Chain A
Amino acid sequence: MSKKIVELLLKDHINALVERGIRRDGRGLNDYRDIEIMSETATHGDGECWVKLGKTQVITGVKVDVGPPYPDTPDKGVFVVNVELLPLASPTFEPGPPGPESIEIARVVDRTIRSAEAIDLEKLVIKRGELVYILFVDIYVLDYDGNLFDAATLSAVGALSKTTIPVVHLDEEGNINADPNERFKLELKSKPATVTMVKIGKKLVVDPNLEEEQVADGRITFGVKEDGRICAIQKGPGSLSIEQVEEAARIALSKYEFLSAYYR
C-alpha cells in the first residue's frame, strides 16, 4: 500500500519534470543511458555479448547446434531466441519457466532480426532436408533497471555479429565430423536495433529506466535498420495517438546510427 503511494508521488514528480523536458537522471527525453559492451570472455558460446545499458545488464550467448530442418523449410537453417529473466536480476523475477514478459521480449528480438533478414538462413544448410545448423540465441537478463527490449536486441545482435560456426562435414553414412579449429564467420546482412519509448504524460521518453517504466502510461518499440526502414513494431500497454506513433517512429529511426556504433 505504502509502495503504491510512493509510486503515485513519484509519478507526479516524473510527469512534471518530463513536461519540462527533464528526466530525474539528467538525460534529455531522447537520450539513451550510457552503453557499455563488456570485452571479457564470460561464456562458452560460439558468439557472446555482455551489454550494460545504464544499470541494466544483459548477456547473450549463441550456441551452434546441428539437426534436421523444419519440414516446411528444408533449405533453411534454424534460429531460436530465448530470454530468461533470472531471479538474480530483480526482486520481482521468480524462478520458473519463461513467463509472458520474457516470451514477449524474445519474440520481439526474434522478429526484429528475422524481418531485417539479418541472417541468411539458406547458408546454414549442411544437407538439404536432412541436416542444418541451429543457432540458439540465449539472452540472459542479469540486472534489471528498465528497457530490456533494447538491451536484449543490442546483446543478441552483438553476439550474432561475433559468432563463428564450426564447419560440419557429413560423410556417406550420415556421421558428422568437425574440426574445432575449422570455423566460418556468421555473416549478417543487417544489424538491426530496437528503440523503445514510453509515454509519460503527453511526451515520449527514449530508453526508460525502471522507475520511468513503472510510472509510464504507454510503451512502444520499433525495430530499425541501416537503410532507414522499420523492421518490427511492438506496442506495449497504454494507448498512443497517430501523431505520437509517427513521432516515435521518427525518433526510433534517428537513433539507429547511435546504437549501431556499439556493433562495431
Chain B
Amino acid sequence: MPIFVEKKPDKLISEDGTRIDGRKPDELRPIEIKVGVLERADGSAYVKWGGNRILVAVYGPRAAHPRHQAIPHEALVRCRYDMAPFSPSTDRKKPGPDRRSIELSTVIEEALKPVIFKEMFGGTAIDIFVEVLRSDAGTRVAGITGASVALADAGIPIRGLVTGCSVGKVGDFIVLDPGHEEDMWGDGDMPVAFFMETGEITLLQADGQYTYDEFQRALKLAYNGCKQVYELQKRAIIEKYEKLKLEGETDE
C-alpha cells in the first residue's frame, strides 16, 4: 500500500504566469542528451529532461523474430516503452507492461516510423527500447527525442530527426513542457512530436479541454519548444563524433 499520498499544491501558476517550479509559460526544463552510452546496443541515448532519466537502445536492422511478424518489403519497426519499478515518485510500479505502457509503445513507434527508410530493410526488425529510470512528466516525448537520436547513432538511414515536446494547460495559461505537478493537477496535457525537417506532426495526443484558439497556440508553442530540443539533439550527435575524431587524432 502507498506510504505517501501527494497533495495538490494551492496554486500551480501565478497571475503573471510564473509557474510552480519558477519557469515562465514558454520555458523548457533543463535538457541534456548523451549519445552512444551503451556498449551492446547498435545505437543508444541517455536523456535527462527535468527530473526524467531515460535510456534508449536501438537494435537492428536484424533478423525479425518471430518470423511470421517479418514484412517482406520493409523493416518491422517495434518499440517497447517500459517504466522501471523505481521510476515513479510515488509507490513502486509492478515490472512488466501495463495498458499505459502498451499504448505509449505504439504511439512512440508510430511517431518514429515516418522518418525511417523501412523499405531498405525488408524482412528485418528494428527494435527500439525506451526505459524510463526516473519519471517526472513528459516521458513519452523525452523517449521519442532520445529514440530518434539513438536511431541515428545506430546508423539506421532516417530522413531526419523526430523531436518531441509536451504542452499543457494550467488555468488560463498554455504552458510549455509541463512538470510533475502541472501534469498531475493541471487542466490538460498535449504531447506533440515533429519531423523537424518538414514540420510534419508524427505524434499528437491530448487530454483536457481546449478552445480552437488555445489549440492553435498550444501547437505553436510545442513547435517552438521542439525547435530548441532539436538543436540539443543535433549537438549531442555531433559531440559524440567530435570526441571520436579527437581520439582518432591522438592515435596518429
Write the residues of chain A forming the contact surface with B, with a CB cutoff of 8 angstroms: 41-45, 48, 55, 57, 59, 61-67, 82, 84, 86-91, 95, 97, 136, 138, 140, 142-145, 166, 168, 176, 178, 180
B217 within 8 A of A: no
Stretch at the interface among B12-20, B113-121, B130-138, B235-243: B130-138
A168 to chain B, nearest CB (A): 6
B133 to chain A, nearest CB (A): 5
B231 within 8 A of A: no
Given known contacts A43-B134, A136-B92, A145 and B39 CB-to-CB distance under 8 angstroms: yes
Q: Which of B4, B39, B96 lies in contact with A143, CB distance below 8 A? A: B39
B131 touches A43 (CB 8 A): no
A88 touches B41 (CB 8 A): yes
Give the number of residues in B that approach A within 8 Å (Cβ atoms).
33
A138 touches B95 (CB 8 A): yes
In the bound complex, what is the Cα–Cα distance between A120 and B4 (angstroms)? 24
A82 touches B95 (CB 8 A): yes
In the bound complex, what is the Cα–Cα distance between A176 and B3 (angstroms)? 7
In the bound complex, what is the Cα–Cα distance between A140 and B88 (angstroms)? 15
Q: Which of A44, A57, A86 lies in contact with B82, CB distance below 8 A? A: A86
Nearest 6 CB-CB pairings of A with B: A61-B86, A63-B92, A45-B86, A88-B57, A88-B129, A55-B39
Chain B residues 47 to 76 lying within 8 A of chain A, measured CB to CB, are 53, 55-57, 59, 62
A249 to chain B, nearest CB (A): 31
B40 touches A144 (CB 8 A): yes
A43 touches B1 (CB 8 A): no
A65 touches B3 (CB 8 A): yes
Nearest CB to that of B40 among chain A residues? Answer: A90
Q: Which of A42, A57, A65, A82 lies in contact with B38, CB distance below 8 A? A: A57
Chain B residues 1 to 38 lying within 8 A of chain A, measured CB to CB, are 1-4, 38
Nearest CB to that of A89 among chain B residues? Answer: B40
Instruction: Kindly list 17 other residue pairs between chains A and B, CB separation below 8 angstroms, not including A44-B134, A178-B4.
Output: A43-B133, A48-B86, A55-B39, A61-B84, A61-B85, A61-B87, A61-B133, A65-B91, A65-B92, A66-B1, A66-B3, A84-B95, A88-B55, A88-B56, A91-B40, A97-B96, A178-B3
A41 to chain B, nearest CB (A): 7
Nearest CB to that of B44 among chain A residues? Answer: A88
In the bound complex, what is the Cα–Cα distance between A86 and B57 (angstroms)? 10
Which residues on B sit within 8 Å (CB–CB) of A178? Answer: 3-4
24 CB contacts below 8 A, A to B, read A41-B53, A43-B53, A43-B87, A44-B89, A44-B135, A59-B84, A61-B87, A64-B3, A65-B2, A65-B91, A67-B1, A84-B95, A86-B82, A87-B57, A87-B59, A88-B38, A88-B44, A91-B40, A91-B62, A136-B85, A138-B86, A145-B40, A166-B3, A178-B4
